[in-house]
Amino acid sequence: MLAVVLAVFAVFAASRLLKYYRAQKDLGYLPGLRSLVTPMSPLGFALPPSQYNPGRDWQWRLRESVYRDAGTETISAIPYVFGPPCIYTSSPEVAKQVVSTKGQFFKAYDTTLITLLWGPNIFAANGEEWRKHRRIINPAFSNATFASVWEQTSRVFDEMEVGEGWAGKRAVDLPVVNGLTNKLALILISTCGFGNPLKWQFTNSASGGMSFEKALSIVSSNHIALLLIPDWMYRLPNKWIRELKTAVDRMNLFMRELIEKRRAEMAQKAPERTDILSAMIKSSESEGKFSMDDSELVGNTFLLLSAGHDTVAHTLDAAFALLALHQDFQEEVYQELLEVMPTEADFTYENSARLVKTRACFLEASRMFPSGFMLIRDTAEDVVLQNVGPNNDDVLPLKRGTRVVVDMIGLHHNPRIFPDPEAFKPERWYNAHENDMSMFSFGARACIGRKFAVAEGICFLAKLLRRWRVEPLAKEGETKEQWKQRVVRGVVVLNLGIGEVPVRLVRRDC
């Protein structure tokens, strides 16, 4: 029996060794990560980091060392035992080739599965299908939409001040600011995405059972559970699982009813709405036989919910922490606001284009903590990857089916592109063009909702900093540097965020 076990082990070890050396050859002997499992594998993602497993947050933890130690901006990750070998790059030149729409690279089904829970969408699509989605969705992101985002963000901020009891107070302690930004982003997605306005003090129950507000909140905070829980588990007598199932059913019903309602309004020539779903339906109807079906409309709307919600909330969390640490820059933003928007009447979307420093603050927070921290592609054919090697001037032939990952954390902490990358330097973005916002990807496949996110972020920060000064909320005896070490750290789940951010708001005399 022992001999059989040893023989099986020997065969397994030999096969793993052969696979390892073959992967090294296929990936051009690029240096990089070597471990028992790769972080791209389910096992590597689930297990904590160790000497055997880089862990799901290795791109954050090793951002200052992994490419430097390898001597190249493009590295390989090859397992000794489990997981697919792949390439990671922090080079913008390589990234642009990988995410281009020329057909050399595509998004594999397993990398987009979580976005397909509600239906086909632009994020998961490739080729002509992607072009169809883009063509229909694009008109939904207009200046009218962004002006509505600005107006609604301003409204929700005012409601938040009242609802959270800030009115009349000279100072407010917020032990965890993340909950407020999460709720704000949720309300804005519902209002400007679905055309279903929510108040800050929304309810959790309705006459027909679970309210839309509660269902939306549950669904938006349980993406991983929705992906992992099989259908049969929803029949178990577990309160949390039953509540999740109720929320999913409620959202599906609401979305399909809402689509029919919007179509009926359009047929009756009702006043035009500015929310994204209504604009998508209108654009889709004009496509005739190439229009989106209901599942595609729902899929794209929920994609906007998850991607837009996470991006804005996480970036604002980071901005709170960074502003608390940089009082000098915070004062510069305040002076800019006094100049551009001295009164409430001046607080308009049209004037927001002049808020150079406010915008730069949001973009720099997004650079330091890019929410979508990986862009994953597989080669659709044999490809020659350009701009690799120690001097970014070599080429690397790749076989069809090779996985290449654009490491957005590594790219945005690449000292060649962003000198002194660990420093908060909003001035990097003072003269930045929209195409320079690499945090939202590159080229034609850049995030279609980036202007939505930026408008929401700028408006929130402008309202906040016009009225309040943000300071660290430190523990007893804790220095500012100790607060920074405790708070300013990346947290990886499905996206990159920041840990819990405790701040104190001090009202400005204005």
- Binding site for heme: what residues are annotated? 447
Tally Cβ neighbours within 10 Å of residue 211.
17
Inter-residue contact 379 to 99 (CB < 8 Å): no
> Among the residues of 229-370, which ranges form H helices?
239-267, 276-285, 294-325, 327-340, 356-368
> How many Å apart are CA 461 and CA 182, to the nearest integer?
15
Radius of gyration of the chain (CA): 24
For helices 178-188 and 212-220, the axis angle rounded to 10 degrees is 120
312 close to 294: Cβ distance less than 8 angstroms: no
Region for 218 from its dihedrals, namely left if φ exceeds 0, alpha if ψ lies in -120 to 50, beta otherwise = alpha
Question: Which residue numbers belong to the known binding site?
Answer: 447
Phi-psi category of residue 505: left, alpha or beta, with phi > 0 → left and psi -120 to 50 → alpha: beta
Q: Which uninterrupted H or E stretch holds 171?
A: strand 171-174
Instruction: Characterise 146 by phi-psi region: left (phi > 0), alpha (psi -120 to 50), beta (else).
Output: alpha
Q: What are the strands, taking DSSP E only, across 408-500?
A: 468-472, 490-492, 496-498
User: Contact 456/311 with Cβ under 8 angstroms?
Assistant: no
Q: Are 337 and 290 in contact (CB under 8 A)?
A: no
